[in-house]
Amino acid sequence: MTNNLALGIDIGGSGIKGALVDLAKGDFAGERLRIDTPQESTPANVAAVVAQIVSSFATELGDGPIGLTIPAIVQHGVTLSAANIHKDWVDCPAEKIFEEALGRHVVLVNDADAAGVAEVKFGAAKDNPGLVIVTTLGTGIGSAIIHRGVLVPNSELGHLEIDGYDAEKRAAASIRAKEGLSWDEYVPRLQRYYETVEFLFSPDLLVVGGGVSKKAHKFLPKLKLRTPIVPAELQNRAGIIGAAWLAVDAAAHPDPLR
């Protein structure tokens, strides 16, 4: 790898986005490339698009690391779930499929985990020495738990059962839009969610990401928590930046269970 460059690719339900990341700066080293996610988002079809993106950056990347995010639980390279992508990803040896398609090693991680790591390394939680929980409010609620800079993967805190409900069915940003809730009507749902997370984990910092974080001033000041809670800084760049960082980290700390 030259000039601290790594490639991050963020696989989403509607688009697959990639960019070279300068890890000395913690930001994109150039323009982002986006290609629509195939309508039939099977592993083979998605891997073909990822190969297109990798080839677009091949000259600058060389043999540098590649990190991929995906909206799924990822355990030792195997995807165990599928959110907004084809059901064939469930119990799929996904990392191996990408490596066969690309002819090179990759690191595959959950999308919220990648975004969380990016916020801890370069964003709103940079240099925090304690326990940070990053949540993404969107179609569902993604989460990342990072303690002293080390990721505890696949936390899925959007699926906590609170008052008899799956948390994201009440507090995700998509639910606010679907039910036409005002910010004042939405705040009690967020309050209940975050006070539960706070009680269970006693974090040192809560970070709120997802598109809704651009309007954080409409709801964060109204939450009554002991824990500081702040908006994410990296917005839609976080997944790509986090994936790139985790790819480099995996080279230094390979997964012995993969």
* pLDDT of the residue at 1: 41
In a domain, 119, yes or no: no
Q: Do the beta carbons of residue 106 and residue 145 sit within 8 Å?
A: no
* Structural domain of 218: 124-233
* DSSP code for 39: S
Residue-wise pLDDT for 56-88, tens only, equals 999 999 999 999 999 999 999 999 999 889 999
Residue-wise pLDDT for 201-217, tens only, equals 999 999 999 989 999 99
Residues 35 and 98 in one domain: yes
Virtual torsion, Cα 50, 210, 5, 55, nearest 10 deg? 20
Is the pLDDT score of 2 beyond 50?
no
In a domain, 58, yes or no: yes
Query: Which CATH number fits the domain that encloses residue 94?
Result: 3.30.420.40
Whole-angstrom Cα distance, residue 246 to residue 250?
6
Residue whose structure tokens are 């409409």:
218
Residue 127: how many other CB atoms lie within 10 Å: 7
Whole-angstrom Cα distance, residue 43 to residue 48?
9
Cα within 13 Å of Cα(217), Cβ side: 1
Q: How would residue 3 be classed by pLDDT, with cut points 50, 70 and 90?
A: low
Q: Tell me how far CA of residue 64 lies from CA of 8, 30, 102, 186, in angstroms.
A: 11, 16, 13, 44
The number of folded domains in the chain is 2
Is the pLDDT score of 47 beyond 60?
yes
Residues 179 and 248 in one domain: no
* DSSP code for 231: E
Task: Say if pTM beats, i.e. exceeds, 0.75.
Answer: yes
For residue 94, report the phi and psi dihedrals to the nearest 5 degrees: -65, -45
Residues 209 and 195 in one domain: yes
Residue-wise pLDDT for 135-194, tens only, equals 999 999 999 999 999 999 999 999 999 999 999 999 999 999 999 999 999 999 999 999
Residues 107 and 13 in one domain: yes
Residues 245 and 225 in one domain: no
Is the pLDDT score of 258 beyond 90?
no
Is the pLDDT score of 38 beyond 90?
yes
Residues 45 and 134 in one domain: no
Q: Do the beta carbons of residue 133 and residue 203 sit within 8 Å?
A: yes
Residues 106 and 131 in one domain: no
